[in-house]
Amino acid sequence: MARVKYRYPGESRWKGWWYVLPALTVYLLFTFLPILETIRTSFYQWDGFSQQKTWIGFANYLEIFSDPKFHNALRNNLVFVIFYSIIPILIGLFLASLLSRRPIPGFAFFRTALFLPQVISMVVVGVVWRWMFNPTSGPINIALNWLGLGRFAISWLGDFTWALPAVGSIGTWVQYGFCMILFLAGMQRIQEEYYEAASLDGANALNQFLHITVPSLRSEIAVALVTTIIAALRVFDLVYTTTRGGPGESTMVTGFLIYRSAFMLNRIGYAAALATVLTLIILIISLLIRRYQRHGVEEDA
Amino acid sequence: MKKRSILLSVILVLLILLSSCSKLGKPAEQAENGAEEQVLLVWDQFYREEESKVIETLNAEFEAAHPGVRIQREVKVLDDLRTTVKLALSKEDGPDVAQVNQGRNDMGALVEAGLLLPLNGYLEKYNWGSVFSTSVASRNSFTNDGKTFGTGSLYGVSPTAEVVGVFYNKTLFKKHKWDVPTTFEDFEALLAEIKADGVTPISFGTLDGWNAIHEYSAIQHLLVSLDYINNLTYGVNNVSFDTPENRQAAQILQDWANAGYFSDGFPGIGYDDSNNLFKAGNGAMTITGSWLAPELLVGTDQEFGFFLLPPYEGKSGLAIGGVGIPFAIRSTSEKQELAAEYLNWMISPRAAELWAGAGMLPAMALPENTKVKTDNLFGDTLTAWNTINQANAVGHYIDWATPTFYDTLVAELQKLLGGISTPAGLTEAVEADYAAFLESRSK
C-alpha cells in the first residue's frame, strides 16, 4: 500500500486522529482494555466476585499445559477446523466455479439461498440443528428411515463417534456460503482470456480450475482460511446449544472450557489464562496464513 | 469553524459516554412521592408461568401488608441467575434478596466471600424451626468460612420441595393392566413386561446430561444408607465413591440401557424432548423430580400418577429429595429487617397454599383447612414427599459433593450408557474426583 501524503499546507498532521477518535475510544475502552485486563487476570487466582485476589504467576498456564481436558478440547478444535474451514472452502470453490463460468437462470436466487446460513444467529442454528438431529422426530433420521437406510439412523448428537462430525457439519453448513461469495467476487477479476488460451492449449475444465482459478484466488482463500479457522477455534455457541460438550467429553472445545471454568467453577483466573492461550494460538495461525499469502503475491510478481 | 466542529464532536462523544455511565450508575429508585417508600430488590428464577404467578401474588400481598414498601422483582432463568448473581451480590446496589443455588460453587463460594447474611437470628425470631426440619435447614447451611457444607449457620430459606421418583402414565397402565410395583424386583419385572408389550418403559434422554445424574442416583439411593449419602454430600468422614453399592447402581442403569428400557436414541434426546415424548404417551414412565408435575396436569389427554422408586429388598429405600433453591439476603443490604420479613413471607402457610395450587410441592406444611385438590398427580407427589420425610429418608443431589462433581458425573454416566465405560470405570473415575477434592480441602 502506498502512503498517502497529501495534506493542505499548514494543516496539522494530527488532524486525522480527530476523525479516528470516536472509533479509537470505543476500541480502546471495549476491546483493548478488556484484553489487557484478561491477560492480567490470568496471573491471579480469583473467583470473580470476592475481594480476595491472589497473584500466582504462571501457575494457571502450567496447569493448562498439563490439563488433559484442555488437550482434548484443543484436539476437538482442530477437528472443527476441518469442518469449519477446509470443507467449506472446497465446497465454496466448487460452487463458485459452477455459478461463475456461465450464466445460470436464477443465479441471484442461488447466491442468496446458499449464503443464507451465514446470516442466521448461531444460537438459532444450534437449536434448529439439534431438532434436525433428533433421533426420533428429527428430519434427518425420518428421511433415512424412509429411504430404507434405517440402520444409519443413529442418535447423532449422543454418539461417541458421530457427535463431533455432526456438530462440525453444522459449522460446514454455516461457513460454505461465506466462502462461496468470497470466491465469486474474486473470480470476477480473472480475465476470460486466460481460460480461452488454456482451452486452446487443450486444458480441460479440471486443469483450468487447478491452474487458473485456484492460483488467482490465493488472497481470497487466505481470507477465507483466516476467518473460518478463527471461527473454528473459538466455537462456543454451537456446542453450548447442541451437546454441551457431551457425550462424555467428545465435543468439548476450548471455548466451552473457558465458560465452564469462569461461570460454573468460579475460576476466573484459569479461564482468563485459557482465553489468553487460545488468543495466542489464533494469532500465530493467522500470521502464518498471512505469510503464505504474502509469499504467493511476491511469487506472482 | 473547523475547530468548532471538532470540539462539538468531542463534546458529543463525551456526553454519550457520560450519559451511559450515569444511567448505569444510578439504582432505579424513585422514592420521590411517599418520601419514605422503601424498595426491596429481589432476584428470583421462577420464570415459568405458573410459578411466576405465585410469586407475583405473594409480592402484591406483601406490598399491601407493608405500606410504603415496593418490591422490585427481577426474574431470570437459573443459568442466567447463577452466572450473574454472585457479582451482583458483591455490589452496593445489588439485590437485597436473591435466590442462591445450593452447593459449594454457589452458596458456599458466596458465604466464603462474606456476601450472604447468616440467618440464625431470624430463625429464632420467626420460629422457622417449626416450619422446616433440621435436615432441611442443613441443606442451606455452611460454616462461616464457606468450607463445610451442611452445618454452621443458616444462609437461606427454601419455599418449595422436590422429590425424585417415577411419573407413570395411568392411561397406559390401565389399558395394558400393569400394576404399580411395590418392590424393586417388581419394578424390574414391570420394565420387562412393558417392553414385551411394545411400549417404551422409561422416557429418558441424556443429551442435556444433568438428568442422567438423577436417573443413576435414584437407583443408588435405594442401595446406600442415609449416613453414607450425608457423608458423601457434605464431604465428611472420608467416604469413598468407589463402593460396591455405587457400582451396583451403575450396573443396573447400564443393564436397563442394554435391555432397551429407555427411549430409542436416548443419547441424542434432550430433557425437555423426553418429557414431551412422555407427555404425549410415548413411554410408560419417566424418572425425574416432582417439579414436572405442573406441566403434566395441563395440556394433555393422558392421566399421570407418581410413585417413589420402590425399595430394594432389605434396604432402607431413600429417595433423592430436598428443598428448592433458597432465598438469601445480601450481607451488605441496608434493609435486612425488611428482607427477613420477606423471607418469612415466602415460607408462610399462604405461600404453601399457593404453591400447592400451582401443582408444586411446598417446603412448608399445608394449612389444615386447605382447599387444594389432592386426589390427583399433585396429591401423589405430596404423599411421596410426606412418606420420605416421615421415614427420615430424604437423600441428596450428589452433584453438590464437589465443585466438579456435576461435570464428572455427567461425562462418566454418558460414557457408561454409551457402552464405552464400565460400572467400575465410572465409580473409579468419580472417586478420583472426590478424593482430589477431599485432599485439596485438607490442605
DSSP B298: S
Axis crossing angle, helix A122-132 with helix A163-187, rounded to the nearest 10: 130
Q: Are residues B170 and B262 in the same domain?
A: yes
Instruction: Show which residues on chain A lie within 8 Å of chain B, measured between beta carbons.
Output: 18, 21-22, 25, 47-52, 130, 133-137, 141, 154-160, 243-249, 260, 263-266
Is residue B377, in this structure, part of any structural domain at all? no
Mind listing the pLDDT tens digit of every residue in chain A (301 residues)? Answer: 455 556 676 666 777 888 899 999 999 999 999 999 999 999 999 888 888 888 998 999 999 999 999 999 999 999 999 999 999 999 999 988 888 777 778 878 888 888 888 888 999 999 999 999 999 889 999 999 999 888 888 899 999 999 999 999 999 999 999 999 999 999 888 888 888 888 888 888 888 888 888 888 988 999 999 999 999 999 999 999 999 998 999 999 999 999 999 988 889 999 999 999 999 999 999 999 888 777 765 555 4
CA-based nearest residue to A18, from B16, B9, B4: B9
Q: What per-residue confidence (pLDDT) applies to B147?
A: 86
DSSP B232: H
Compute the mean pLDDT over every residue in chain B, rounded to the nearest whole number: 89
Q: What per-residue confidence (pLDDT) applies to A179?
A: 93
Q: Are residues B99 and B110 in the same domain?
A: yes
Q: Are B277 and B283 in contact (CB under 8 A)?
A: yes
Q: What per-residue confidence (pLDDT) applies to A17?
A: 85
Q: What per-residue confidence (pLDDT) applies to A111?
A: 81
Q: What per-residue confidence (pLDDT) applies to B143?
A: 92
Q: What per-residue confidence (pLDDT) applies to A297?
A: 59
Given a cut of 70, is residue B17 above it in pLDDT? no
Q: Are B279 and B302 in contact (CB under 8 A)?
A: yes
Q: Are residues B181 and B71 in the same domain?
A: no
Q: Are A46 and A268 in contact (CB under 8 A)?
A: yes
Given a cut of 50, is residue B172 above it in pLDDT? yes
- Residue type at A186? G
Helix (H) or strand (E) holding B79: helix B78-89
Given a cut of 80, is residue B3 above it in pLDDT? no
Domain extent at residue A211: 58-300
Is residue A19, in this structure, part of any structural domain at all? no
Is residue B27, in this structure, part of any structural domain at all? no
Domain extent at residue B148: 38-156+325-362
Looking at the partner chain, which of B6, B114, B206 has a beta carbon nearest the beta carbon of A158?
A: B206
Q: What per-residue confidence (pLDDT) applies to B31?
A: 43
Is residue A14, in this structure, part of any structural domain at all? no
| Mean pLDDT, range B155-172, rounded to an integer | 95
Q: Is A50 close to B90, i.e. CB distance below 8 A?
A: yes
**Residue B353 — very low, low, confident or very high, per pLDDT cuts 50/70/90?**
very high
CATH number of the domain at A161, please: 1.10.3720.10
Most confident of A148-152, B80-84, B211-215: B211-215
| Mean pLDDT, range B320-344, rounded to an integer | 93
Q: Are residues B187 and B168 in the same domain?
A: yes
Q: Are residues B169 and B103 in the same domain?
A: no
| Number of alpha carbons in the 13 Å side-chain half-sphere of residue A234 | 16
Q: What per-residue confidence (pLDDT) applies to A126?
A: 94
Q: Are A80 and B118 in contact (CB under 8 A)?
A: no
Q: What per-residue confidence (pLDDT) applies to B1?
A: 43
Is residue A11, in this structure, part of any structural domain at all? no
CATH number of the domain at B145, please: 3.40.190.10
Instruction: Show which residues on chain B lie within 8 Å of chain A, measured between beta carbons.
Output: 6, 9-10, 13, 17, 82-83, 86-87, 89-90, 105, 109-110, 112-115, 206-209, 263-270, 273, 277, 403-404, 406-407, 410-412, 414-415, 418, 420
Q: What per-residue confidence (pLDDT) applies to A160?
A: 94
Is residue A51, in this structure, part of any structural domain at all? no
Q: How many domains does chain A have?
A: 1
Residues B291-320 pLDDT 10s: 999 888 888 889 999 999 999 888 888 999
Q: What per-residue confidence (pLDDT) applies to B24?
A: 45
Edge-to-edge order in the sheet of strand B38-44: B69-75, B38-44, B97-99, B327-329
Q: Are residues B205 and B304 in the same domain?
A: yes
d(CA A270, CA A46): 8
Q: What per-residue confidence (pLDDT) applies to A284?
A: 94
Is residue A18, in this structure, part of any structural domain at all? no
Q: What per-residue confidence (pLDDT) applies to B22?
A: 45
Is residue A1, in this structure, part of any structural domain at all? no
Given a cut of 80, is residue B77 above it in pLDDT? yes
| Mean pLDDT, range B66-79, rounded to an integer | 92
| Mean pLDDT, range B45-65, rounded to an integer | 92
Q: Is A141 close to B420, i.e. CB distance below 8 A?
A: no
Q: Are residues B315 and B329 in the same domain?
A: no
Is residue A90, in this structure, part of any structural domain at all? yes
Q: What per-residue confidence (pLDDT) applies to A7?
A: 65
Q: Are residues B305 and B408 in the same domain?
A: yes
